[in-house]
Amino acid sequence: MPLNLKILTVAKRYLRLDLKYKFQLAMDALVIAGNFIGFGIIGLFLEARGGVMPEGYTFEKFMLTGTYLWTMMARTYDDCIRLLGEEASRGTIMLLIESNVTITQALIGRAIASTIKYTLITSAFGLPVLKYIGALNLRIEQTPMLMLGYICSWLFTLGLSMIMVAMTLIFKKIGMVTTSVMEIVMMAIGFYFPIELLPKQLWPITGIIPFTIGMQIFRDIMILGYPRDSINAVYSSIGMGIMKMVTSTLVFSIIAIMILRYAIIKAEKWGTVEQY
Amino acid sequence: MGDGRAVLVEAVKVKALEFREVSKTFKSGALGRRVTAIKDISFQLEEGEDLAVIGPSPSGKTTLLKLIAGIYRPDKGEILIFGKSIVNNLSWARKNTYYISQQMQLNKKLTVKEEITYFQELFKNPISRECVEMLELVGLSERDYDRRIETLSETQMTILKVVLGLIKKPKIMLMDNVLGEIDQKIIEGFTKVLNSIEGLTMIIVDKNIDLLNRVCEKAMILIDGKLMDIGKVKDILSDYPYKYDVEVSWKHDVDENKIASLGYPYQKIGGMVRYYLRNETELKEAMEKIIGEMDKIMQVQVSGIDLEDIYYWRIYPKQLNEKNK
């Protein structure tokens, strides 16, 4: 069976399973709604220092567009890193292995299913909110660019979850690492504040993270209706920004797959692949 | 002419599985001490053969099955399935084997149909006649396919696990303590359906040795990860000097001297004493002696030597009191 069809079959199965756990779905929706309310309040009552926000932005728009993209990605990340633990606690991890699905394929399938689920839930809350605050200015001709930013951010998140799963395979319990990593990423990509506020020395590092560029493009298109030509801390021209984003996404994804593959082989050698 | 045909048949027999000096160790405890699960095992199995793996716990039985399924990688040696190395053809090997255990669970929230469809979509195979027959054995007809798995009985779930494996069309089926989960009333029908699948090689681990005795033509005895014996059950049995066993349940106040006084080799297993006899004459004599002691005996059972006896001889060789032989 072609690889992509196998992943889609796995994704379909996870989606079907998610729909069976209705209470969990309701709780997820509640938490996502809470995110919008929380960050909406912060955006409404706090004001950025003069000149910190790009022209056309308000802090509220900045926070809520960021929340919209971040929620879809972060929730998918959470589902992915919980995958093996959940399969193990349900006792279905052997069934997964015996259905000839590798951990990598399962992870990608899980990510696709979660993305569909959370995009629908987040959009149900997020789009009306963004429309209300005037941050839904997407133009049809900008859709491919928006999608590219979205896909690169998604692949980065998937790669990050692969590395976390690899760590789980090797060390079994990795404690707060998964949450801490996401906190750092939130800072680094400019979720809480514009990327320019980070020390200049960090710009080359944060600017190369695909999610940073993806987040900037996403916010610009949603708030302004177009991506800015240059963003000091990230790219000097939009063409350069896209090239940087695509290249770093590819490189990061390859590294993540290799790390996960190494961890799977190690776990198979140690005989711990199905133990959590 | 007859011999020539035998040679020809021998030549076309396909090696389904081959172990070449395979070893597997695991790290154990905080100090990382290595524990040997499988030690330098070599054997071959032909296509369509059924092998019972017996041994005490732990003796490496589950590790052996998981190595074949490609879930574990060997530390040393090579495992070949139909001539292909498992390590170098992992995906192919996993596709052609199916490991099923007590611990393997189905997604209980899904329906029978949803689980079946998942496997059908993955392997692009229709549900075969054997699968339908097997599901019908446990009362699952097509109209029951919409039932949630959580509503099925233990036996029905186990059969469904086997059916999912059959959809995969494996060449080697590995069953780890599964037979015990199946209602004994349908076990015969179950094994009959499995045996009707052409070319399917089965390797079975189970606590119920009596059942393995009936199902498998070949057996392997593993003790402490070492291969002690492998071969056709009837050949293994013929290598042993005894032909019958008489299981006697003595009353509690009977002492060792009385037990030994019958004059035959014996072994104490739980509350039972099992006497081993070489031939019918010895059996007849022994029965006469036992009848003479009936006031001290609660229960007597006579049977032919089987895998269970060999299993106990191998595990507890020191307990076999052969002073009387």
* Tokens, residue B43: 């054997």
B108/chain A closest Cα distance in angstroms = 9
Give the residue from B206, B233, B260 where a domain finishes. B233
Tell me, yes or no, whether B115 lies in a domain: yes
pLDDT digits (tens, 9 = 90+) for B51-89: 999 988 888 999 999 999 999 999 999 999 999 999 999
Q: Are residues B105 and B69 in the same domain?
A: yes
Task: Give the residue from B25, B26, B71, B178 with the most A CB atoms within 10 Å of its CB, the best one to mutate.
Answer: B71
Nearest CA in chain B to A99: B119
Q: Does A270 touch chain B (CB under 8 A)?
A: yes
Instruction: List B54's β-bridge partners, or say none.
Output: B221
Report d(CA B138, CA B149) in Å as an integer: 14
Sheet with strand B172-176: strands edge to edge:
B97-101, B172-176, B201-205, B50-54, B218-223, B226-232
Q: What are the chain B neighbours of A268 within 8 Å (beta carbons)?
A: 71-73
Taking the alpha carbons of A132, A137, A140, A143 in that order, is the dihedral positive or negative? negative
Instruction: Select the residue from B24, B26, B105 to test the A interface by mutation, using most A Cβ atoms within 10 A.
Output: B105
Q: Is the dihedral of CA B163, B167, B171, B172 positive or negative?
A: negative
Q: Give chain B's length.
A: 325
Cβ contact B106–A92 (<8 Å): yes
**β-pair partners for B227:** B222
Rg of chain B (C-alpha set): 23
Q: End of a domain among B177, B207, B233?
A: B233
Say how far apart CA A85 and CA A89 lie, in whole Å.
Answer: 6
Name every chain A residue with its beta carbon within 8 A of the beta carbon of B124: 1
CB contact under 8 A, A271 and B114: no
In 3-state terms chain B splits into helix, strand, coil percentages (rounded to 5) of: 40, 30, 30
Count of beta carbons in the 10 Å neighbourhood of residue A226:
16
> Are residues B148 and B125 located together in one domain of the fold?
yes
What confidence category does residue B33 fall into, taking pLDDT thresholds of 50, 70 and 90?
A: confident
Cα end-to-end distance, chain A, whole Å: 29
A104 domain-assigned: yes
Between these two residues, A148 and B308, which has the higher pLDDT value? A148
* Same domain, yes or no: B172 and B283: no
Give the structural domain span for A167.
Answer: 3-270
> For residue A12, what is the nearest residue in chain B, using CA coordinates?
B118
Chain A contact probe: residue of B73, B124, B168 with most A CBs at under 10 A: B73
The secondary structure of A149-210 as a DSSP string is HHHHHHHHHHHHHHHHHHHHHHHS--TTHHHHHHHHHHHHTTSSS-GGGS-GGGHHHHTTSH
- Does A226 map to a domain? yes
Amino acid identity for residue A121 in this structure: I
The percent of residues in chain A predicted with pLDDT above 90, rounded, is 73
Residues within 8 A of B (CB atoms), A 98-137 only: 98-102
For residue B325, being part of any structural domain is answered with: no
**Are the CB atoms for B166 and B131 separated by under 8 Å?**
yes
Burial letters B282-302, b for 16+ CB under 10 A, else e: bbeebeeebeebeeeeeeeee
Question: Would you state the pLDDT for residue A140?
Answer: 93
> Does residue A23 or residue B292 have the better pLDDT?
A23
How far is the C-alpha of A165 from the C-alpha of A264, rounded, in Å? 10
How many folded domains does chain B comprise? 2
Is A175 in the B-facing interface, judged by CB distances under 8 Å?
Answer: no
Task: Kindly list the residues from chain A whose CB atom is less than 8 angstroms away from the CB atom of residue B104.
Answer: 91-92, 94-95, 98
Which chain A positions have a beta carbon within 8 Å of B121's beta carbon? 9, 12
Residue B57 inside a domain? The answer is yes
Q: Which residues of A touch B166 (CB under 8 A)?
A: none
Beta-carbon separation of A9 and B73 below 8 A: no
Q: Is pLDDT larger for residue B238 or for residue B302?
A: B302
Could you read off the pLDDT of A159-207 as tens digits, one per residue? 999 999 999 999 888 888 999 999 999 999 999 988 888 889 999 999 9
Same domain, B62 and B92: yes
- Residue A275 placed within a domain: no
Q: Find where tokens 């950025």 sit.
A: A48
Residues of A in contact with B176 (CB under 8 A): none
Structure tokens that stand for B143 in this block: 């109209």
| Cβ–Cβ contact A17 with B under 8 A | yes
What pLDDT digit, counting tens, does each position of A51-103 carry? Answer: 788 888 999 999 999 999 999 999 999 999 999 989 988 889 889 889 989 99
Q: Are residues B11 and B143 in the same domain?
A: yes
Question: Which residue on chain B is closest to A11 by alpha carbon?
Answer: B118
| Among A residues 227-266, those touching chain B with beta carbons less than 8 Å apart | 265
* Stretch among B92-96, B205-209, B314-318 having the lowest mean pLDDT: B314-318
Task: Answer whether residue A91 is part of any domain.
Answer: yes
Which pLDDT belongs to residue B307? Answer: 83
Q: Can you give the CATH number for the domain in which B50 is found?
A: 3.40.50.300
Q: Which long-range contacts (CB under 8 A, 24 or more apart) does A87-90 make?
A: A88/A274, A88/A275, A88/A276, A89/A276, A90/B105, A90/B107, A90/B108
Contact check, Cβ <8 Å, B99/A94: yes
Residues in CB range of A249: below 8 A, 6 or more apart:
A152, A155, A156, A210
Q: Does A273 touch chain B (CB under 8 A)?
A: yes
The domain in which residue B92 lies consists of: 2-233
* Secondary structure of residue B225 in the 3-state scheme: coil
CB atoms within 10 A of CB A104: 18
Counted residue by residue, chain A has a size of: 276
Check whether residue B254 and residue B184 sit in a common domain.
no
**Tokens found for residue B5:** 């045909």
**Alpha-carbon distance values, A230 to A205, A227, B285, B292 (Å):** 17, 9, 103, 105
The pLDDT value given to residue A275:
66
Count of CB contacts below 8 A, A vs B? Answer: 82
Residue A234 lies in a domain: yes
Segment B105-113 mean pLDDT: 94
Whether residue A128 is preceded by a cis peptide bond, meaning omega within 30 degrees of 0, is no
Locate all alpha helices (DSSP H) within chain B, ordered by sequence: 2-12, 61-68, 90-95, 112-123, 129-137, 154-167, 187-195, 209-215, 233-239, 256-260, 280-292, 307-315
Report residue B93 as tokens: 């090997």
pLDDT of B12 > 60? The answer is yes
Share of chain B above pLDDT 90, in %: 55
Give the whole-angstrom CA distance, residue B146 versus residue B217. 38
Please enumerate in sequence order all residues whose Cβ is within 8 A of that of A236, keeping only pairs 6 or more positions apart, or say none.
A230
- B129 & B204 share domain: yes
> Mean pLDDT, chain A, as a whole number?
92
Contacts of A109 in chain B (CB under 8 A): none
Backbone torsions φ then ψ of A51, nearest 5 degrees: 85, -5
Please report the sign of the dihedral spanned by the C-alpha atoms of residue A165, residue A171, residue A175, residue A180. Answer: negative
B39 plus B128 within the same structural domain: yes
Q: What is the DSSP secondary structure assignment for residue B152, as one 8-state letter?
A: S
Residues of A in contact with B75 (CB under 8 A): 269
Nearest to B103 among A1, A6, A91 (CB): A91
Contact A269 B119 (CB under 8 A): no
Nearest residue, CB atoms, B107 vs list A92, A98, A271: A92
- Whether B73 and A268 lie within 8 Å, measured CB to CB: yes
Query: B9 lies in a domain?
Result: yes
What's the CATH number where B248 sits? Answer: 3.30.70.980
A76 three-state secondary structure? helix
pLDDT digits over B154-178, tens only?
999 999 999 999 999 999 999 999 9
CA–CA separation, A261 and A268 (whole Å): 11
Determine whether the interchain pair A9/B122 forms a contact, defined as Cβ–Cβ distance below 8 Å.
yes
Within-domain flag for B263: yes
**Residue A172 has what pLDDT?**
81
| Model confidence pLDDT, tens digit, residues B241-278 | 888 999 999 888 788 888 888 888 888 877 788 899 99
Q: Are the Cβ atoms of A9 and B121 closer than 8 angstroms?
A: yes
* Distance between B97 CA and the closest CA of chain A, angstroms: 8
Mean predicted lDDT score pLDDT of chain B: 88
- Number of compact structural domains in chain A: 1
B268: left (phi over 0), alpha (psi -120 to 50) or beta: beta
Max alpha carbon distance in chain B (Å)? 67
Residue of chain B whose alpha carbon sits nearest to that of A270: B26
pLDDT in tens, B287-307: 999 888 888 888 899 988 888
CA distance A73 to A66: 11
Rounded to two decimals, the pTM is 0.84
The DSSP 8-state label assigned to residue B296 in this structure reads G
Residue A49 lies in a domain: yes
Q: Are residues B57 and B150 in the same domain?
A: yes
Q: Which of B176, B209, B233 is the last residue of a domain?
A: B233
| pLDDT value of position A153 | 97
